[in-house]
Structure 1
Amino acid sequence: MKNTFFLLLLLGIFFSANAQQKPVFQKLRYEDDFTYLKADSTKTSYEKIKYIPLGKNDKYYASIGGEARLQYTYTVNNKWGDESDDDGYLLSRYLLHANVQLGAFRTFFQLQSSLANGKTDPSPVDENQLDIHQAFLDIDFIRKENEQLTLRSGRQEMSYGSQRLVAVREGANSRLAFDGLKLFYKKNNWQSDAFFTHPIANKQGTFNDSFNENAKFWGSYTVIHKVPFIQNIDLYYLGLWKSRAVFDDAVGTENRQSIGTRIWKNKGNWKYDFEGVYQFGNINQKTISAWTISSFACYTFENIKYTPEIGLKTEIISGDKNSGDGYLQTFNPLYPRGAYFGLVALIGPSNLVDVHPSINFSLSEKWGLGIDYDIFWRQTISDGIYAPNMQLLYSGKDTTERFIGSQLISNLNYDLNNHLGFTLETGWFNAGSFLKEVGSGKDYFYAALTAQFKF
């Protein structure tokens, strides 16, 4: 492991030294833009692979990129003492992509390899040796400076809004992609997407992540910027069909619709994010009626040393009210970011009341420190608690205890340059009365060191 970390360090230094301008890497790598290099006649060896002319037409070009992430994790009392501990394990993820633009046509291809060393019984999300992660074709029907209409077909990542419902699952070892079609339109201050997809179900092995017929995911998502008073607003509809879903009080084919809105501001000293979602549908002759509301606000003190940012997030996420009736009020977060409440995700956003204060410091241009504290209760005592992937962790049918516990997390970040960064995260989960009654209820601890390299 030491040799691999050292290799990433050398690569980070090498690529940084070979870039005349600091590259900007997007969270969705197909959004990277290196066209500013087309007018550069003195490109370095690194910059030559970021912008490769394909003929004399400057609308014909290619680009190559990738990333590697190593994450060593040590835990104590897995699942609050109900699962055996690993003596530390190493997760590694490698991504390599190629982008080709030919006028109105564009293709993007990306491989993903996710490996788990030392982890007992790794899931397909932990270990998926090698597969095609993305492979899609874009056709531009309109491509102007302030207007774009594009159809995308194939395997693709998607991420929307605060990533509470649709995300690439960055925290997990394997990122999430979808097979399907997406039509998106941008003009001036707004963008609207419509899509119909099948989420990929990862499988351990090589090139075997085939088309998933057991789940369908579709919807539309619109973002409007520069709205008077509220700044930005998202409006969306999301549909989900799964051949089999398991909740504490329902098992069967799930057909769920979600409608929601989000009001947000992410610039300036004051930042905020308010979101509400209502879900309806059916599962095994039960009527779905679920909801969530979320609020987040923070303020950055620019004139104080280390520019502290103090924030408060609260969430109420519905759970099932009455076991055995004809209704299901359990909220389904669909495809949220993997590290929803910390890097080692213990609890998913369903049947929860959550209060989450935080503080972040910019110690220097390269160093950052974050501390946050979470307090969790069950929203209803008839429902259990779930993992981020909606696997039922503990049923709530045999206990009336509401308090799940509290969690303290710290993050220390160091960015050597735009190519290489390190994060040390530690977390302590103090088990509450609910966990003590339904299981061993031991306090949980983890420490994780992550190195991520991009080019």
Structure 2
Amino acid sequence: MLRCSWSACLLLASGVLTVSLAARAEDAPEPREAPRYESIRYLEDWSDPSLRPGDDPFDRVKYLPLGAQAWLSLGGQHRLRYEFTDGLDGPLPESVLFSRNLLHLDAHVGPARAFLQVGGHYALGAPARDEPPGSDLFDVQQAFLEWRSAPRKVRFVARVGRQELALGSTRWVSTRDGTNVRQAFDLARLTVTGEGWSVEGFGGVVPRLQRGVLDDAPSARNRFWGVYATVEVLPRKRLSFDAFYLGRDRPSVTYGEVEGREVRHMLGVRLFGQTEGGFEYIGHALAQAGTVGGARILAWGLAGGLWQRLPFAPLRLGVRGDALSGDGRADDGRVSTFHAWFPNQTFFSALPLIYPSNLYEVHPLVQWELDAVTLEGGCVFFFRQSVNDAVYTPPGDVLVPPAASDARYTGAQLSLSLGYRVTRHVMFNLEYSHVVAGPALRAVNLQDVDFLGTWTTFTY
């Protein structure tokens, strides 16, 4: 049973009050045809002043002319997130309040661009969360230079510097928006886009996150690179195809009794599309190879989903599933544990308990969408793909050691979520999750878990 303290209730009430006050502050009508705010802020296009008639006071800083073909755009985002978890870390519940504050400056001069985003991330209430990715006092979130060119209907975009990166469905490489500190990379990146296709290649390193001020330095020994291509096979989004290669070099990792430097390569394909009748589909097939210490890597993964929009109600029914390999034997000189380096950790729920490694999972869900309100309910059933491998938790740590249990069934996670877009600038979210511990979790004395999260986001 979820036990919510008076302080937790007050914080929930304050979140609702924040939404009300922000809504009242926005009595002016929304501008017509204004660009929408993107999750990755540098993807927004504010280059056309006619799209901002001036009804929204925040639009006045989205296009500031500096001269011929030169302009400046300013923006930011502030998120207040409260989490209450009972049953995960012991007899005492965890209550934590997160604050994320991002400001950015976007300068354009002809085909050149400079983008800078800084952030302050704070955590109150749980000492274990007062470090990255829960807390980072002040640092550069993104800072890059960009050059654009578009000869003969083909557009080239080159970026160098720290930047966020989301590939495909964000299943394997994402911005990690659910955590307080988002994921960014120090990359050189080239994107080429044509009619119905795009290809991008990148290479660089993963910054080392630290809690202090301006101390998130590039980590030269933690490298990441890849190529990602998308082709629209059939028009009107009926069928598209992705093919990608990703590689990562990490200085030290551990899988059971195997430890050492890891160089891992992943090849993948993705098919996705939708029909005019409201049927949507997506499927991934993945293979991983490489070395860990003196052991070879050979892992595989399958993932997908099916959805159907109902014609008589604003409902969307679906089911998602994963099959990701685990290690069959600890002493055979081979590592078969699939590892997702930068996954969308809220793919299953706002409570990221299980990491996408060594698992079978099936996730039936239903979504209800009506104007500014979205409701979703679902239940994920987790199983180990190999009972000789561990159950993993983010960011890939062992939750249940292989020797602790020979049970395949891990547990089930029920979640209910609400999203309410109060205004163009304000978004309110609420989610409740309950984890029913299966035999694998109970083998290490993990019991049922209750989670309540609420967050209010103000974007401009």
Contact 1:340/1:348, CA 8 A, preserved across alignment: no
Deviation of 1:4 (Å)? 6.9
- Alignment-derived partner of residue 260 in structure 2: 252
Q: Does 1:278 align with 2:287?
A: yes
Q: 1:398 offset after TM fit, Å? A: 3.8
Q: Note if 1:234 corresponds to 2:245.
A: no
Structure-2 residue corresponding to 1:422: 428
Displacement after TM superposition at 1:149 (Å): 0.8
In the alignment, which of 18, 21, 27 is matched to residue 10 of structure 1? 21
Q: Which has the higher contact order (CA 8 A, sep 6+)?
A: 1
Aligned with 1:293 (options 299, 302, 314): 302
> Which residue is equivalent to 1:452?
457
1:262 to 2:288 alignment = no
Change (3 A) 1:158 1:117: same
Deviation at 1:413, TM superposition (A): 1.6
How far apart are 1:201 and its partner, in Å? 2.2
Q: Which of the numbers 393, 408, 417 marks the counterpart of 1:387? A: 393
Q: Distance in 1 between matches of 2:15 and 2:446?
A: 37
Give the counterpart letter for 1:35 in structure 2: S
* Count of aligned positions: 445
Shift of 1:245: 1.1
- The 5 Å alignment of 1:108-257 reads 108-122=115-129, 123-140=131-148, 142-143=149-150, 146-227=153-234, 231-257=239-265
The CA distance in 2 between the partners of 1:44 and 1:447, in whole Å, is: 34
Aligned partner of 1:404: which letter? T
- Aligned-pair CA distance for 1:156: 0.5
Q: Note if contact 2:15-2:456 (Cα within 8 Å) is conserved in structure 1.
A: no
Give the secondary structure class of the aligned counterpart of 1:237: strand
Distance of 1:90 and 1:125 partners within structure 2: 14
Using the aligned pairs only, state the percent identity. Answer: 27
> 1:408–1:399: structure 2 CA closer, same or farther, 3 Å change rule?
same
Give me the whole-angstrom Cα distance separating, in 2, the residues matched to 1:18 and 1:138: 34
Partner Cα distance (1:93, 1:16) in 2: 25
Contact 1:136–1:155 at 8 Å: present in 2 too?
Answer: yes
Whether contact under 8 Å (1:158, 1:168) holds in the other structure is yes
Residue 50 of structure 1 pairs with residue 50 of structure 2: no
**Helix, strand or coil at the partner of 2:219:** coil
Aligned to 1:27: 39
**For 2:21 and 2:109, how far apart are their aligned partners in 1?**
34
After TM superposition, give the deviation of residue 117 of structure 1 in Å.
0.8
Verify the 8 A CA contact 2:316 2:366 in the aligned structure 1: yes
Is 1:67–2:73 an aligned residue pair? no
Cα shift at 1:87: 4.6
SS of alignment partner, residue 158 of structure 1: coil
Distance (whole Å) between structure 2 residues aligned to residue 284 and residue 210 of structure 1:
26
Quick check: 1:373 aligned with 2:379? yes
Offset, 1:28:
1.0
Distance 2:238 2:292 in 1: 37
| 1:39 to partner: Cα distance | 7.0
For the residue of structure 1 that corresponds to 2:127, the secondary structure is: coil
Match of residue 443 from structure 1 = 448
Query: 2:86 is matched with which residue: 76, 83, 90?
Result: 76
8 Å CA contact 2:31, 2:52 repeated in 1 = no
| CA distances 1:308-351 after superposition (whole Å, capped 9, x unpaired) | 11101111000001111100000010111121321120011000
Checking the alignment, whether the CA contact within 8 Å between 1:323 and 1:397 is kept in structure 2 is no
1:227 and 1:233 in contact (8 A); partners too: no
Aligned partner of 2:231: which letter? I
CA distance in 2, matches of 1:75, 1:42: 44
Structure 2's unaligned 5+ residue stretches are: 1-10
Q: Would the aligned equivalents of 1:387 and 1:393 in 2 still touch at CA under 8 Å?
A: yes
CA contact (8 A) 1:235 1:260 kept: yes
Residue type matched to 2:244 in 1?
Y
Compared with structure 1, are the counterparts of its residues 44 and 92 closer, same or farther at alpha carbon in structure 2 (3 Å cutoff)?
closer
Counterparts of 1:5 and 1:421, CA distance in 2: 11
Deviations 1:245-271 (A, max 9, x none): 122242110000000000012575111
- The aligned runs of 1:318-357 (5 Å cut-off) are 318-357=325-364
Partner in structure 2 of residue 411 of structure 1: 417
Which range moved further: 6-15 or 371-380? 6-15
Residue ranges of structure 1 left out of the alignment (5+ in a row): none
Q: Normalised by the size of structure 2, how large is the TM-score? A: 0.92
Please tell me whether the aligned partners of residues 97 and 109 of structure 1 are also in contact (alpha carbons under 8 angstroms): yes
Give the Cα–Cα distance (whole angstroms) in 2 for the partners of residues 453 and 225 of structure 1.
35
> Quick one: distance in 2 between partners of 1:330 and 1:425?
31
What amino acid is the match of 2:66? L
Cα 1:429–1:321 change in 2 (3 A) is: same
Structure 1 segments of 4 or more deviating over 6 A? none
Any conservation in 2 of the 1:114–1:128 contact (CA below 8 Å)?
yes
Return the letter of the residue paired with 1:396.
P
Give the CA deviation at 1:108: 0.5
SS at match of 1:10: helix
Cα 1:126–1:261, aligned 2, differ >3 Å: closer, same or farther?
Answer: same
Q: C-alpha deviations, 1:165-215, integer Å up to 9, x for none?
A: 111101111001001200111111111110001112211111110111231
Q: 1:73 to 1:41 in 2, by over 3 A?
A: closer
1:433 corresponds to which of 436, 439, 453: 439
User: CA, structure 1 residues 66+401, in 2 after alignment: closer, same or farther (shift >3 Å)?
Assistant: same
Secondary structure of residue in 1 paired with 2:48: helix
> Which residue is equivalent to 1:359?
366
Distance in structure 2 (CA, Å) of the matches to 1:16 and 1:184 = 40
